[in-house]
C-alpha cells in the first residue's frame, strides 16, 4: 500500500461491513489521516452535504464504499430508493471530487451490474452485453453509472477514477437483519434458530438451482486497498474468489456447520435472482496482484461463530 499511507483518505461507508475492514487495513499499513463520514453528519445524497464533506476532510484519495443495499427481498421492495440514493451518492461525490482536485477516486460497483445471462465466468468485457437481473437492476444500474462517470471524467478531465466489481461478500459483522440480509447471513440465521428451537424443517427461498460466488470480507478489503494504491486504468476490475456454488449446496454446507439436521424445504414461489454468478478474476491478479486467500468453509465457520456470539 505504498503511496497511500501519506495521503488524506476519505472512506465513505467506512463504518460499514466492508468499509470498517478497509479503514482497519489502511491504518494498519500506516495511513494516519483516514476520515470516515457518518450518514448522520453527511447525507451523501444531498449535494450541500457532499460539498461540506470535501471542505471538512480535504481528501487526496476517496474510496467510495457507501451504498444502500440489500438482498432480493429488499431490492423488490425498494427499487426506487436503491436507484436514486446510489446514483446520487456516486454522481455527486465524483463531481465534487473532481472539482476539489482529488488525486484518486476508487468507486466500488457491484456484481449486480452484470447482464442477467452473462457467460460464466463473468468477464469485465461482458458488462454491457445485456440487461441486469430484474430484481437487482435498479441498484445494479445505479452503481454501473459510476463506471460511465469514471471513464467520462478520465477522458474529459484527466480524473483518475477506478471502478471495482466485488462479488457477494460474507464474514463476521455481516447484516443479519431479516428484511435486508443477503443469502449467507439469512441461511445462517435460519439454521441457527432452527437448531435452537428444535425445528424439524427450514424453508428456504427459491429452487436452490441458482449459483453464487462468495468472497470473504477481509479479502475484499485487501483488494480495495491494493487497487487504490496500485491500479490507475479506466477498465473495470472484478474482485472475487473465482468459484461458484449452488444455493442448494450452500444451504447444505451451512446446515452442516450449524448442526441443523432437519429437512430443507425449497419455496419455489420465491425468486432465485440471477441464474448463475461467478467472476473471472484474472485482471485483478495481473493488474495489482490480488488473489483471495480465505478458505470458504473456514470463512463460514468464523461468520457462524460471530453470529452466535452477537445473538447472545
Active site residues: 139
Pick left, alpha or beta for residue 165 (phi over 0 → left; psi -120 to 50 → alpha; otherwise beta).
beta
Rounded Cα–Cα distance for residues 93 and 264 (Å): 44
Spell out a b/e string for 214-251, using b for 16 or more CB atoms within 10 Å of the CB, else e: bbbbbbbbbbbbbbbbbbeeeebbbbbbbbbbebbebb
Q: SS3 of 275, please?
A: coil
How far out from the chain centre does Cα 66 lie? 10
Rounded Cα–Cα distance for residues 273 and 296 (Å): 22
Grid coordinates in use for 66?
A: 457507501
Amino acid at each position: 500500500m505504498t503511496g497511500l499511507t501519506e495521503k488524506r483518505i476519505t472512506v465513505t461507508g467506512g463504518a460499514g461491513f466492508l468499509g470498517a475492514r478497509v479503514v482497519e487495513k489502511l491504518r494498519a499499513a500506516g495511513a494516519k489521516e483516514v476520515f470516515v463520514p457518518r450518514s448522520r453528519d453527511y447525507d451523501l445524497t444531498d449535494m450541500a452535504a457532499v460539498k461540506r464533506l470535501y471542505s471538512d476532510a480535504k481528501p487526496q484519495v476517496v474510496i467510495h464504499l457507501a451504498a444502500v443495499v440489500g438482498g432480493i427481498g429488499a431490492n423488490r421492495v425498494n427499487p426506487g430508493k436503491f436507484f436514486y440514493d446510489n446514483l446520487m451518492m456516486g454522481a455527486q461525490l465524483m463531481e465534487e471530487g473532481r472539482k476539489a482536485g482529488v488525486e484518486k477516486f476508487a468507486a466500488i460497483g457491484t456484481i449486480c451490474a452484470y447482464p442477467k445471462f452473462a457467460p460464466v465466468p463473468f468477464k469485465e468485457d461482458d458488462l454491457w452485453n445485456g440487461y441486469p437481473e430484474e430484481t437487482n437492476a435498479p441498484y445494479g444500474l445505479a452503481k454501473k453509472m459510476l463506471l460511465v462517470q469514471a471513464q467520462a471524467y478520465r477522458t474529459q478531465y484527466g480524473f483518475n477514477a477506478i471502478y471495482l466489481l466485488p462479488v457477494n461478500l460474507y464474514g463476521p459483522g455481516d447484516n443479519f437483519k431479516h428484511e435486508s440480509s443477503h443469502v449467507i447471513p439469512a441461511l445462517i440465521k435460519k439454521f441457527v434458530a432452527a437448531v435452537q428451537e428444535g425445528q424439524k424443517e427450514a424453508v428456504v427461498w427459491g429452487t436452490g438451482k441458482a449459483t453464487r460466488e462468495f468472497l470473504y470480507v477481509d479479502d475484499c478489503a485487501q483488494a480495495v486497498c491494493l487497487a487504490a494504491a496500485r491500479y490507475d486504468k479506466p477498465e473495470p476490475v472484478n474482485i472475487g474468489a473465482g468459484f461458484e456454488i449452488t444455493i442448494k449446496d450452500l444451504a447444505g454446507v451451512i446446515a452442516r456447520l450449524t448442526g441443523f439436521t432437519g429437512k430443507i424445504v425449497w419455496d419455489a414461489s420465491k425468486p432465485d435472482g440471477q441464474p448463475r454468478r461467478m467472476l473471472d478474476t484474472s485482471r485483478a491478479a495481473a493488474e495489482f496482484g490480488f488473489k483471495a486467500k480465505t478458505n470458504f468453509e473456514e470463512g463460514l465457520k468464523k461468520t457462524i461463530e460471530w453470529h452466535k456470539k452477537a445473538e447472545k
